Structure 1
Amino acid sequence: MKIAVLKERAEGETRVALTPETAKKFIALGADVAIEAGAGEAAAISDAAYTDVGATVGPAQEALKDAGIVLGVQAPDPATLGGAKEGAFVAALFDPFRERERVDAYAKAGLEALSMEFMPRITRAQSMDVLSSQSNLSGYKAVIAAADQYGRAFPMMMTAAGTVQPARVFVMGVGVAGLQAIATAKRMGAQVSATDVRSATREQIESLGAKAIFVAEGGIEGEGSGGYASEMSDEYKAAQAKLVSAHIAKQDIVITTALIPGRPAPRLISDDQIATMKPGSVIFDIAVPQGGNVEGAVADQLVTRHGVTIMGYANTPAHLAPDASALFARNLYNFLSAFWDAEEGRPVLDEEIGDAVRLTQGGQVVSARLLEAG
């Protein structure tokens, strides 16, 4: 089985789907690994690092020729995959709800699209979950970037000239990214609080030493579907908005992380709420690629409203390319190697995970989740 990896062509994408570490592991399984020249440069991986572990490096067409598996971070345009075998696996991020036309094109091209976003959140798939690994880094980077923009000290600092009070950081949405944001801000010495609509996250917030800010009643007991929050009632939203408005006015930095799969990011902070914040405060909106949690947020731009800086990246993990690539590549290896059939020399997916991630097969869109969405 030949595995091909191409240079990422999406704007701003610095990650690569295969590292020398995982290339070596795939070769040990019996696979041939071919890399497009320069694929790892933006992630600080040289072509020589791949050849040193036994992979071949060359032009895209050469890498793709007769490939049975193509690995990517962002799913490539299927029109660029000529030369790969008919029915070849393509494992990558497909953004299937928003990029349905691309999914249809994969079906038409006879390729088997495997959407890593659709990896089920079950115990045995944890090591395959690219959304979790990348969100972890996003939560960390959001705090670091916001701290840099804030331009003041994070921890309490006592000097002969007086005391510098710690920064107040409020994290909205306590999934993987939110938990890492809390932990990072705490490590940096900030006074941290956090909120979520899921009642079960209270214990997680407090276990990290942060203050839990919750509406008294009406939250989701336990976890939402797949570990994500669900859409809340209008009454709950009103109570949440009132609570946030009272709390946000006292904060120096706010990190928003809330996402609902298959839907635009929920609006958490309005312009009126921004106006209550102190001049010089910073909001980092991790959800800005999905429409944003914050009114006025624009991906990759610093927006100033009422003296408050609003920021967010179109691709936050890409700002930590070496580590993001290493984790993404391990997720892909853990996924494919778990189903590797030594006799057939290729992965044979099972129903539970295979059916969850498979978007196309045999010229058809077969994902029940995608078809149900219309």
Structure 2
Amino acid sequence: MRETAAGEQRVALTPDDVARLSDRGAEVVVERGAGARADFGDADYSAAGADLVPGPELVFGRSDVVAWVKPPAYDLDSMPLRPGQVLIGFQDPVQRGDRIAALRARGVESIAFERMSYDARAAQPDPLSAMSRIAGGVAYREGRALLPERVRSRRVRVLVLGCGQAGLAAIAEARTRGDESPVAVAHREEHRVTAMARGARRCLVNPSPAAITDLIVDMDPELIICAAGQRGTHAPRLLDHAALAALTAGAVVVDLTAKAGGNSVATVVNSTVHLDNGVLVTHRSNYPSAVPHAASRAYGAATAAAIGELPPLRTGLDWSGLRN
């Protein structure tokens, strides 16, 4: 389907993904124009074996599995949903939990990439990991661009909260930009080891908000990347009012966890908040859309792999066995 979430430029499957799924026996229906904003044309989808249709109604009406990047802006009740159908993609389970439950009561299942298990040994990263790697780098660059020019012109002091894929990508981006080696906060000891190996100069494991405030007073960070959280659950509040008050005017906090509640008490979804002490706290929900072609390739490959693990393609069962 063509994405309709605000500002979304990606597409859930690229023509290469369509070809791979077609080779495995799937029939793929694609809404016309679905990939245009990511530089994938309708002719490319057609050549890959997709059946192009003029609107989302036909995608939903003909598909056993509907793949998206984000839930559509239109009401799903306006689509021809049916029992046994599967909606796969980012589902925003923290904010849309009631909606997902209501769909399940009607027999429509939702597979949330936010809750898909991470497997470092997998040949193909899961969609959340793939997007988090891109989001961490993009968020770092965009947050850095918001700093005062006098700060941007030299090495920036950086604090990274969370050492999952997004946090590690932010640490790597700091090194690429020539900024000071970040200080990091990790949830577990094994994350600390990884963060140090990626270039963090120091890493605290599971500190309290008060300890994070003390860290801010000690290091005076100019850029904070918030990326701490467990998949599909509420994000921990790590930056309380005291921590934000301890920041110096001009500091920027980029919170990647806003849709899960935010690591900062001042975070507002898809907004930039100007605090009284001159600090910016910013979030937007689609950082990977800044590089839609590359992000779509990464997302589509991961999505096609996830679809390939559904019983009809993995075992040859018919679709009636999907919900079992």
The residue aligned with 2:143 is 146
The residue aligned with 1:131 is 128
- The letter for the 2-side match of 1:66 is R
Unaligned runs of 5+ in 1: 1-5, 156-163, 221-235, 350-360, 363-374
Distance in 2, matches of 1:124 and 1:87, equals 31
Contact 2:64 2:85 in 1 (8 A): yes
- The letter for the 2-side match of 1:209 is G
Contact 2:114 2:231 in 1 (8 A): no
The residue aligned with 1:30 is 25
Q: Give the match's secondary structure for 1:313.
A: coil
The residue aligned with 1:184 is 173
Distance in 1, matches of 2:213 and 2:317, equals 59
The residue aligned with 2:58 is 62
The residue aligned with 1:336 is 307
Q: Give the match's secondary structure for 1:14.
A: coil
Change (3 A) 1:117 1:126: farther
Change (3 A) 1:323 1:265: same
Contact 1:266 1:292 in 2 (8 A): yes
Is 2:268 the counterpart of 1:273?
no
- The structure carrying a bigger strand percent of its residues is 1
Contact 2:14 2:300 in 1 (8 A): yes
- The letter for the 2-side match of 1:175 is G
Distance in 1, matches of 2:43 and 2:121, equals 34
- The letter for the 2-side match of 1:194 is A
Change (3 A) 1:240 1:13: same
Contact 2:134 2:288 in 1 (8 A): yes
Change (3 A) 1:335 1:144: same
Deviation at 1:238, TM superposition (A): 5.3
Is 2:69 the counterpart of 1:87?
no
Q: Could you tell me the TM-score, scaled by structure 1's length? A: 0.75
| 1:294-328 alpha-carbon deviations (Å, 9 max, x no partner) | 23222333322212222121332333322222212
Name the % identity: 27
- The letter for the 2-side match of 1:169 is V
Change (3 A) 1:100 1:271: closer
Distance in 1, matches of 2:176 and 2:223, equals 15
- Listed as ranges, the matches of 1:36-115 within 5 Å are 36-59=31-54, 60-76=56-72, 77-82=75-80, 86-115=83-112
- Please report the RMSD computed on the Cα atoms of aligned residues, expressed in angstroms: 2.8
Task: Return the match for 2:211 from 218, 224, 240.
Answer: 240
- The letter for the 2-side match of 1:73 is V
Compare 253-262 and 271-280 and name the one that shifted more: 271-280
Distance in 1, matches of 2:120 and 2:270, equals 35
- For the pair shown, the structure with the greater C-alpha radius of gyration is 1
The residue aligned with 1:316 is 287
Deviation at 1:73, TM superposition (A): 1.7
Is 2:109 the counterpart of 1:116?
no
Task: Return the match for 1:12 from 7, 10, 14.
Answer: 7
Deviation at 1:23, TM superposition (A): 0.7
Deviation at 1:75, TM superposition (A): 3.7
Change (3 A) 1:281 1:343: closer
Change (3 A) 1:321 1:245: same
Distance in 1, matches of 2:65 and 2:284, equals 30
Change (3 A) 1:198 1:26: same
Task: Return the match for 2:265 from 295, 300, 312.
Answer: 295
Q: Could you tell me the TM-score, scaled by structure 2's length? A: 0.85
Distance in 2, matches of 1:341 and 1:273, equals 49
Unaligned runs of 5+ in 2: none
Contact 1:337 1:347 in 2 (8 A): no
Distance in 1, matches of 2:180 and 2:321, equals 49
Contact 1:70 1:91 in 2 (8 A): yes
Deviation at 1:33, TM superposition (A): 1.5
The residue aligned with 1:367 is none
